[in-house]
Amino acid sequence: MALPLLFAFLFSEASARTVPDQALVVNWNSFNALETVQPPSVTNVFLPPGFTEEQALAKPFHIYDDDFYDVIGPNPTLTVVASTGVDPIFHEAAVWYPPANEVFFVQNAGAKAAGTGLNKSNIIQKISLNQVAALSAERNASGLVDVITVNANPPIVNSNGATNYRGEIVFTSEGQGNSTAPGLWVMNPQEPYNTTVLVNNYFGRQFNSPNDVAVNPRNGDVYFTDSLYAYLQDFRPPPGLPTQVYRFNPSTGAVTAVADGFELPNGITFSPDGSYAYVTDTGAQLAFYGYNLSAPASIYRYTVEVDGTWSNRKLFSYTSPGIPDGVHCDTKGNVYSAVGDGVQVWNPSGTLLGKIFLGSVAANFRFAGKGRMVILAQTQLYYATLAAEGADPVNEF
Ligand SMILES: *[C@@H]1O[C@H](CO)[C@@H](O)[C@H](O)[C@H]1NC(C)=O
Ligand SMILES: *[C@@H]1O[C@H](CO)[C@@H](O)[C@H](O)[C@H]1NC(C)=O
Ligand SMILES: *[C@@H]1O[C@H](CO)[C@@H](O)[C@H](O)[C@H]1NC(C)=O
Ligand SMILES: *[C@@H]1O[C@H](CO)[C@@H](O)[C@H](O)[C@H]1NC(C)=O
Ligand SMILES: *[C@@H]1O[C@H](CO)[C@@H](O)[C@H](O)[C@H]1NC(C)=O
């Protein structure tokens, strides 16, 4: 008697999930066999059959797998926090600074609409999450939030990625021209925003264009990708080193290369316990030089050995549309990446669970405490509430 009842109860629980107000369900079988399939092109969005773009934007949490209900919870929300029109000031390096409940981020360095790169550095800005969180019932709160410029001193030239580091924030700097060497800089997240160079060379050689940085939660080491985007945006000379991932040991100062074989390494993060590393390769996106659709738009996973070296490179996900830029995990080990239509979420086996669909490119994003996420979509800044919690270490190191 008891067993069948229990099964019936579990079964009805699983199948009777209510689709949240801001969510829609996509049946994968609905697009496996399409009437027409378009020839190769650089497309920006994939609309599931039966949905217009307006409908897909009105319900931006797209459920591709039942496990996405646990990621988004019963009442996820998405809010436009700020819009600029053309200047891509909401680009990368989103970092939550808990003591002030603020989120920092940087402008796209080198983008034509930003007017930055060879002659002018990009800027760092911040928002107050207290101010933003109070607006989560709005769909578009643009104009209601203060976006504050942070005058790093000395300036971090053409900053790109960033993460929490020993109570402060470590940024990658892509450098400028031949003489301003790129590297890693640390900034005090409070006035006077004083900065210090952490690393700016590999045995006296300039890095190419450090893109993103993550701290491994197990060993506390700082790992960063060195890509070529400053060169591909015409503000740095041709590469003097292969595109690689480096590891900086804060106790000894040692810098070592841990992975190569990339076209354009980009985002980097670790699983919650630090035992896996994820690196995105955005070789398909050549900035001022267009696209190469047969090059990677892929997330690779590595095992992080106990000694901090990497092994077992494997393809975790080939992403579509666009390229996977920023990448972060939640505390359950699910992997999130900013791609051509918003933020996509995979389980640890690389199955797409769902999307936070923006209908346009997201460059990066960051969890900012449990159930809160800030998404950088170049000319638009978004705030999402959901059930998941980010895995990036905030205070430990
Ligand atoms: C940088 O400044 C030089 C000299 O003023 C100018 O010729 C050049 O066009 C500028 N480059 C960019 C990318 O703005
Ligand atoms: C939000 O409103 C602003 C100001 O009216 C507008 O410029 C922006 O495009 C809107 N954003 C969205 C995603 O609708
Ligand atoms: C760097 O220096 C080389 C050699 O002097 C020069 O050809 C090149 O234009 C310079 N590049 C930049 C981005 O300043
Ligand atoms: C900023 O200055 C304070 C006070 O001198 C110092 O403790 C801190 O390490 C500095 N931070 C950076 C990143 O330079
Ligand atoms: C595009 O990328 C592929 C894979 O990396 C490479 O083999 C090919 O040469 C590239 N094509 C062009 C036109 O650069």
Tens digit of each residue's pLDDT (9 = 90 or more) over 272-326: 999 999 999 999 999 999 999 999 999 999 999 999 999 999 999 999 999 999 9
CA 209 / ligand 3 centre spacing (Å):
15
The structure's pTM equals: 0.94
CA 393 / ligand 4 centre spacing (Å):
21
CA distance 375 to 371: 13
Residue 395 or 332, more confident: 332
Please give the single-letter amino acid code of residue 294: S
Q: How confident is the model at residue 395 (pLDDT cuts 50, 70, 90)?
A: confident
CA distance 61 to 358: 9
Please give the single-letter amino acid code of residue 11: F
Q: Which of 188, 193, 199 to mutate to test the pocket of ligand 4 (most atoms within 8 A of CB)?
A: 188
* Range 49-389 classified under CATH 3.40.50.1220: no
Arithmetic mean of pLDDT over the chain: 95
pLDDT score, position 290: 96
Instruction: Give the atom of ligand 2 at the shortest distance from the alpha carbon of 140.
Output: 1
Give yes or no for residue 179 CB within 6 A of ligand 3: no
3-state secondary structure of 212: strand
Closest residue by Cα to residue 226 from 189, 192, 263: 263
CA 120 / ligand 1 centre spacing (Å):
9
CA distance 384 to 114: 25
Closest residue by Cα to residue 299 from 329, 274, 324: 324
Nearest alpha carbon, ligand 3 atom 12: 177
Give yes or no for residue 322 CB within 6 A of ligand 1: no
CA distance 310 to 268: 13
Residue 108 has pLDDT above 90, yes or no: yes
| CB 362, CB 114: distance < 8 Å | no
DSSP calls for 232-287: HTTSSPSPSS-SEEEEE-TTT--EEEEE---SSEEEEEE-TTSSEEEEEE-TTB-G
CA 291 / ligand 5 centre spacing (Å):
10
Q: Where are the domains of the chain?
A: 49-389
pLDDT score, position 12: 44
CA distance 102 to 131: 9
DSSP calls for 280-336: EE-TTB-GGG-B-TTS--EEEEEEE-TTS-EEEEEEEEE-SSS---SEEEBTT--EE
| CB 284, CB 304: distance < 8 Å | no
